[in-house]
Structure 1
Amino acid sequence: MMNSVVGIIISLIVAIWVSAIAIIAFQNPNNVSLKFLGMESIQLPFGVLLSFCASGGMVGMAILELILRASNSRHNLSRDDDPDFFTDDEVY
C-alpha cells in the first residue's frame, strides 16, 4: 500500500515538473547560456536548459540517496557486531 502511494506521489511530482517546463519553454523561446566560474556554455533554449538541470538534479539526488543508504546499512551492520553495544552499564 505504501509503495503504491509513494509511486503515485513521485509520478505527480515528475508530471508537474514536465508540465512546468513545457509552459516555461513556450513562454520563453529565447536562447540563454550559463556562465559559471568564468566559463560560458553554448546558447540553448531556456526550456531545454531547465529540463537538463531538473533531470540532472533528480538523477543526482537518486545517486546520493543510494550512497547514503549504503553508508547507513554498513554503519548499522558494524554496530550490531559490537559486543559492547548491547551491554548494560547500570549497576543493580
Structure 2
Amino acid sequence: MGPLDAAWHLLNFFAPALGVGLATTAMARLVWRRELRGTSFWRLAGWASAACALGLLAALIVFGRDGKMAGYGLMLATGSLGLWWAGLRGARP
C-alpha cells in the first residue's frame, strides 16, 4: 500500500465520524435551540466528531475490524456524549 492509498484509507475510515458529528450537531441545535444558543456550531461539531472518531477507534481495537454495527452504535453513543459534554453539561431547563 502506497502513501496515497494509506491516506485515502484513513480518510474513508474517519469520514463516518465527521458526517455523524455534523449531522447530530445540526439536529441537536434544532431540538435544544435555547440550551445551545451560547455554544457555537463548530465547537459542538468538533467535539461530536472527535468523540465519534474515538468511538470508531475503540470499536476497531475491541472488535479487530471496521464496519460492525456494534462499532457504529459505539460511535453514536460517544458522539452523543461529546455533544452533551460540549453543550448541555451545565444547561439548566
| TM-score when normalising by structure 1 | 0.38
| TM-score when normalising by structure 2 | 0.37
Report which of the two structures shows the higher radius of gyration computed on alpha carbons: 1
Between Structure 1 and Structure 2, the one with more strand by share is 1
